[in-house]
A and B are shown apart, each in its own frame.
Chain A
Amino acid sequence: MSLLLLALLAKLAAAVAGALRARRPDGWGIVYGMSLGAAVLAALGALLAAPGAVVLPLGLPWIGVHLRLDALAAFFLLVVNLGAAAASLFALDDARHETAPERVLPFYPAFLAGLDLVVLADDALTFLFAWELMSLASWALVIAHHRESGNLRAGLVYLLMAGLSALALLFAFGLLAGTGGHYTFAAMRAAPPAGAAAGIALMLALFGAGAKAGIVPLHAWLPLAHPAAPSHVSALMSGVMTKVALYAFIRIGFDLLGATPWWSAVVLLALGGATAVLGILYALMQGDLKRLLAYSTVENIGIICIGLGLAMAFRSAGYAAGAALALTAALLHVFNHAMMKSLLFFGAGTVLHATGLREMDGLGGLLHRMPRTGFAVLVGCAAIAALPPLNGFVSEWLTLQAIMLRPDLPQWGLKVMIPTDGALLALAAALAGACFVKLFGVSFLGRARSAATATAADPGRLAQSAMLGLAMLCLLAGVLPGALIDLIAPVTNALLGARMPTQLAQPWLTLIPVAAARSSYNGLLIFAFIAAATWLTVRAVHRFASHDLRRAPAWDCGFPDLPAAAQYGGDSFAQPLRRVFAAPLFGARETVELPPPGSVAPARIEKHLPDPLWEILYAPVGSLVLRLADVMNRLQFLTIRRYLAFVFIALVALLLAIALWQ
């Protein structure tokens, strides 16, 4: 525990150092170095420290600051600080390019400290304070480059959603605290609300955490805000902060609230399925590298939500082993997605700095210019597309295994929703495959589409090692998932009173969700097989084909010098899927303009991709607020008599209320 407090203190000190030395040439080195050290320290602390609690004499005098490390907090602390360590390491190279260090350096360590503190908090006030610290620090980072178009708007939308989410959580904690007003988590756990209050508290927590995590339809801010921040911060926001938001939901839904009603699982499952499919569909349609990654985060949040929903459903049915499997799958995906999304955002940041481009249609052929970045991104893409033997596959496979358990659940809602989610999850996984083939294919393969791309180069050693380290972690977590699953076991034990079978004790490190007779997966075996098959194929190709290689002009259909822009691009790749899915779902349209015969004007094809969720959900609320503001504005220009009349009427109304109420 003292290790963690030390790390927290180091982060706050780094924030102060960032504020003081931002403009000095060595400022970024100090800040990111300190952050890296603190993050490594905290990750070690999360792994090694014994569970414990501490009350610091800070904050409000009669409440203090309660911090507590239990299994759940330790797991999330590990995820947060692995991500933070990688981001700091990456930033040690990447931050050289920073144009406005004084807008980034003070807030970055504060953001890290906020993330840590949310996970460690053991009373509602500390939790909300840390939550707001996290939100505000990341907001400051989102608008760090405020002169770029769209960033200020992104910041505003983000701030509004963050405010709403904190408000919802505030009310949720209010309901949990009950009339006694005990704000420590221990007191809430001892006396959870019952009946409707429990349901409302859970839904408020889902809203609060969902708005921060990006559950559809509360995701609108995420693809705006995440790409706007500097890349290492985007990685943290997408990879880590969304997970911390889910931590809030797990803490309330699985820990503080006792039993939850079965319909809350249906809500969670429905939202999770919709989030997964819509998120990846949106991602497929994007041309902006970082925005594509942000939408893919939405998808993965959906997958985690499905896992959490299953755990909730099984728990309410009294099926603890199934609940443990589902929760383990969700938490494993939390870890996996944090690693691979950070890796991919680092890749996007590297590409951005090497070429100055975020639009994929300007990239191409980067694999030759940036082979190491390309390799790391390829691993990340394969992992997030859930290809074995990488880690994304393991957690999605476990989620599917949990879906296929399907014990006898009496409620019709769950009977319908669980198989539906299985189908949606499979669809999302397939679409994710297409999406990341598009990302890698368009950016890294083919020919360079712009001059800047043709001269790109790999980043410095530290950034490379951050990316390759994460790629390594992705592979390790995919090959040896048993170690992670055993790490999660104390969490499920504490929350659900059950755990998955001990994995490291299985023969050949096989992964067994329930029983060996039902299903099993051996990442090591598959990795060995893939490695051997690849080696054999490469050997065979070199042996029989390589020296027969002959370079000659390709069959070019009579167009010998095709420009690079004529390559298969991102939009062309997404077009079939856009036609199939986006036309009915989002109302996407294409308009083709052909020049009249004889004209030499180019033909045009334009795509329109409206966002119906924005138009249905957000735009009316926005216009309602504006209209109300308009009406209220009139109050500013009334006559004295009317103001007096208002006072009078208000007074009489209040008196009437008292008279009637008595």
Chain B
Amino acid sequence: MSTLTFDIANALAGLLVLVSFLMLYQVRLPAVLDMLALHAGVLAAAVAWQAHVQGVPELYVTAAITLGFKAVAIPMALRRIIRRLGIHREIEVISGIGPTMLAGIGLVALSLEVMLPVTAHVDPVTREDIALALSVVLLGLLMMVTRRNAVSQVAAFLSLENGIDLAAAAARGMPLVVEISIAFSVLIAFLVIGVFLFRIRERFDTVDVRALDQFRGERR
């Protein structure tokens, strides 16, 4: 394998991590969704490159699904939702962007530290990709934990799922049927979450998840 293919695969995966970081500090919801679309786009590119490198045509289908669903359809639908909810101009209050970014850097370091020794014997493309995919997953989790708005939590969840996709594509030989079923489950999750967002909104006049906690009668 030439260094160029390796470099490109690495760069795309690194880019995905970078976009995860970008998403982490967006405070406006439309910006978060833009980043989500960008995230999925980069993922589609990374998967397509993997298809080319590995010579597996099914991965092109995966890339196409990713591009169509995650980069275009879902962000558009979410954008419609926030417009209909009237929260597209809201600024989300996030406490401590600086520490969050630092924690994210720590997570990336941790996942590299964990993954690189474990995957010592596999080929370098897979190795780097899996390490970076774990970083994307951890960053998505971190964002889910730090956000209060349900829409940005959904976006974080989807970016987390992108990380899993990247790992699967890099691990050589994820069957197409698995990819399609994952795509469908994401779609269904999206539908369910969308419905829930409206229901929450109807009841509580907000999509801030703190309202749910208050409804349950908790102190925290």
Kindly list chain B residues whose C-beta atoms are within 8 Å of the C-beta of A658. 114, 118
B117: A residues at CB distance < 8 A: 662
A644 in the interface (beta carbon within 8 A): yes
A164 CB → nearest B CB, Å: 36
CB pair B145 A641 closer than 8 Å: yes
Known: A637-B216, A637-B218, A640-B209. A659 touches B113 (CB 8 A): yes
Is A638 in contact with chain B by the CB < 8 A criterion? yes
Known: A644-B144, A645-B145, A662-B117. A638 touches B110 (CB 8 A): no
With A and B bound together, what is the CA distance between A255 and B35 in angstroms?
A: 71
- Complex contact B141–A651 (CB within 8 A): yes
Pair B218/A639 contact, Cβ less than 8 Å = yes
The 8 Å CB contact of A641, one of B113, B148, B216, is B148
Q: Do A644 and B141 touch (CB < 8 A)?
A: yes
Q: Is the interface of B mostly helix, strand, loop or mixed?
A: helix
A655 and B216 contact, Cβ closer than 8 Å, known pairs A645-B145, A648-B145: no
A647 at the interface (CB under 8 A from B): yes
Question: At the interface, yes or no: A642 with Cβ under 8 Å from chain B?
Answer: yes
Q: Compute the total of residue contacts between A and B using a CB distance below 8 Å.
A: 44
With a CB–CB cut-off of 8 A, which chain B residues contact A642? 220
Which residue from chain B places its CB closest to the CB of A639 in the assembled complex?
B213
Is A659 a contact partner of B110 (Cβ separation < 8 A)?
yes
B216 close to A651 (CB less than 8 A): no
- For A647, the chain B residues whose CB sits under 8 A away are 141
- Chain A residues closer than 8 Å to B213, beta-carbon distance: 639-640
Write out the residue numbers on chain B whose beta carbons fall within 8 Å of the beta carbon of A659. 110, 113-114
A651 to B141, CA, bound (A): 10
Q: Which residue of A lies closest to B212 (CB)?
A: A640
- Check B113 against A639 for contact (C-beta < 8 Å): no
Interface membership of A656, Cβ < 8 A: yes
Contact between chains at A648 and B218 (CB < 8 Å)? no
- At the interface, yes or no: A6 with Cβ under 8 Å from chain B? no
Give the residues from 435 to 458 in chain A that come closer than 8 angstroms, CB to CB, to chain B: none
A652 CB within 8 Å of chain B: yes
Task: Provide the residues of chain B in CB contact with A662, threshold 8 Å.
Answer: 114, 117-118
A656 touches B145 (CB 8 A): no
CA distance A655 to B114 in the complex (A): 7
Q: How far is the CA of A642 from the CA of B146 in the complex (A)?
A: 10
Question: How many chain A residues touch B (Cβ–Cβ < 8 Å)?
Answer: 17
Instruction: Report the separation of the CA atoms of residues A662 and B118 in the bound assembly, to the nearest whole angstrom.
Output: 9
Q: Mark B34-49, 1 if CB is under 8 A from A, else 0.
A: 0000000000000000
B100: CB under 8 A from chain A?
no
Report the bound CA distance from A640 to B196 in whole Å: 15
Name the interface residues of B174-220: CB closer than 8 Å to any CB of A: 209-210, 212-213, 216, 218, 220
Measured CA separation A638–B220 after assembly (Å): 8
In the assembled complex, the Cα of A656 lies from the Cα of B110 at a distance in Å of 7
Report the bound CA distance from A540 to B107 in whole Å: 101
Query: Chain B contacts of A640 at CB under 8 A?
Result: 209, 212-213
Q: Contacts of A645 on B, CB cut-off 8 Å?
A: 145
- Which residues of chain B from 64 to 121 have a CB within 8 Å of any chain A CB? 107, 110-111, 113-114, 117-118
Q: Are A655 and B111 in contact (CB under 8 A)?
A: yes
Say whether B169 faces chain A, with CB atoms less than 8 Å apart.
no
Contact B107 A652 (CB under 8 A): yes
Residues of A within 8 A of B113 (CB): 659
State the CA gap A205–B142 with chains docked (Å): 48
Shortest Cβ distance from residue B181 to the other chain A in the assembled complex, whole angstroms: 23
- Interface residues in A610-662 (C-beta closer than 8 Å to B): 637-642, 644-645, 647-648, 651-652, 655-656, 658-659, 662
- Interface assignment of B168: CB less than 8 Å from any CB of chain A: no
Chain A: minimal CB distance from B28 (Å): 21
Q: Chain A contacts of B118 at CB under 8 A? A: 658, 662
B138 within 8 A of A: yes
Residues of chain B within 8 A (CB-CB) of A641 are: 145, 148, 209
In angstroms, Cα B138 to Cα A15, docked, is: 58
A640–B200 CA distance with the chains assembled, in angstroms: 14
Give bound CA distance, A642 to B148, whole Å. Answer: 11
Q: Known contacts being A652-B107, A652-B110, A656-B110, is A639 close to B220, with CB within 8 Å?
A: yes
Query: Bound complex: CA of A655 vs CA of B142, how far in Å?
Result: 15
In angstroms, Cα B142 to Cα A35, docked, is 66
In the complex the two chains form, is A648's CB within 8 Å of B148's CB? no
Cβ of B111: which chain A residues have Cβ within 8 Å of it? 655
Going nearest first, the 8 A-B pairs with the smallest beta carbon separation are: A639-B213, A659-B113, A645-B145, A648-B141, A659-B114, A655-B114, A644-B145, A648-B145
What are some 11 contacts across the A-B interface (CB < 8 A)?
A639-B210, A639-B212, A639-B213, A641-B145, A648-B138, A648-B145, A652-B107, A652-B110, A656-B110, A658-B118, A659-B114
Query: Could you tell me which A residues sit within 8 Å of B by CB distance?
Result: 637-642, 644-645, 647-648, 651-652, 655-656, 658-659, 662
Knowing that A645-B145, A655-B114 are A-B contacts, what are 19 other residue pairs whose CB atoms are under 8 Å apart, sorted by A's residue number? A637-B216, A637-B218, A638-B220, A639-B212, A639-B218, A639-B220, A641-B148, A642-B220, A644-B141, A647-B141, A648-B141, A648-B144, A648-B145, A651-B141, A652-B107, A655-B111, A659-B110, A659-B114, A662-B114
